Amino acid sequence: MLPLLESGADATTARDAAYPAGTFRTDLLGALPPVAERLKDLRNPAVLRSLTELRKVVNALIGRYGKPLEIHVELARDLKASRPEREDRWARMRRNEKARAEAAAKIQSEIRNSHSRPGRHREVASGRGVPLEVPVLR
């Protein structure tokens, strides 16, 4: 499978080419069942919580948009982080979200104000008329 991926094939195409049809077949379900029901031997509480949250999100998406053709899950590498580290990361993400929302509001305000002067929209579009102090996001 690796040579196919290295040659530029996407993961699904590489998997289908590398493994015979039906290898990855599972039962067709309307929604994901409870994790403990399907994975009875699972003993790691962090993994159980993560999979349960994933199940809730996937089932909500299925309920709203219907069954997807494929689900691609990317796992976070930060699951080993301690609780204070995770809380710091969440706080930083919230600060960054707030800063982005403030910057967007400032840009929208500048655009709205640009309509009061002829030709002002060209300055806004070029960036010359938008004196923004954009915070550095970390």
User: 86: Cβ–Cβ under 8 A, 6 or more apart, which residues?
Assistant: 78
Q: Amino acid identity of 66?
A: G
pLDDT tens-place string over residues 30-40 = 888 899 888 88
Residue 37: the pLDDT is 87
**Tokens 């002067």 appear where?**
117
Confidence of residue 74 (pLDDT cuts 50, 70, 90): low
What CA–CA distance (Å, rounded) separates 65 from 73? Answer: 18
The pTM assigned to this predicted structure is: 0.39
Q: Where are the domains of the chain?
A: 81-138
